[in-house]
Homo-oligomer: A and B are copies of this chain.
């Protein structure tokens, strides 16, 4: 397998591009790749190239974009995952898996139900960390698109944003009055999937969601909170004939 690197400034075949610092470190220090070697470069916006290592400096690596190659196809539907913060490092796994399964963006949601350190705000450092995880997951799974990790917002802020895309809110089976099975949701080209915290939404949050979103449920079992986004994205893509 040819190693892939994220080169956000890449756009024109034949040009020389510099890698971001952590990509350069990965190339030189982890993979110990030498000058002249053939690699892949992708720009995170869907383009990919066969590239040659052009120059390796102290902390800089540049690549020559030799030939554009066909990038892995993106899903036909855009799924924005808005997901309540999970405890500990579980959010890392959610970001990694959502990128692998083709999410188009990921938005952390602050829910009153989640408690503990780091669940009330999301600083820029954490968002940067998740954005790096998104890059690393795109490298591994073969995507040429790196989804944005959006700034965190509260549920109310989220629901106030009337961007026009349809919202689906995942509910626990028992709090699912008026909910549809996820497999029965009609296809949209773009959708926002809102996933609640461990233990479900608070009562008033549930009401807000019911008033503004299509409520959906999956299966009849209680699912692990950190696996729910992965299961839900898979279910939507299969139901919409996009997997």
Interface residues of A (CB under 8 A from B): 72-73, 75, 97, 100-102, 140-143, 181-183, 218-224, 227, 230-231, 234-235, 237-239, 241, 243
B183 close to A221 (CB less than 8 A): no
> Chain A contact residues: over half helix, strand or loop, or mixed?
loop
Q: Contact partner of A231 among B143, B222, B230, CB < 8 A?
A: B230
Task: Give Cα distance in the complex from A230 to B218, angstroms.
Answer: 14
A100-B221 contact in complex given A234-B238, A239-B238, C-beta closer than 8 Å: yes
B183 close to A243 (CB less than 8 A): yes
Oligomer: number of copies: 2
A223 close to B141 (CB less than 8 A): yes
B235 close to A243 (CB less than 8 A): yes
A243 close to B102 (CB less than 8 A): no
Please name all residues of chain B whose beta carbon is closer than 8 Å to the beta carbon of A220 when the two chains form the complex.
Answer: 72-73, 142
Task: Give Cα distance in the complex from A96 to B115, angstroms.
Answer: 26
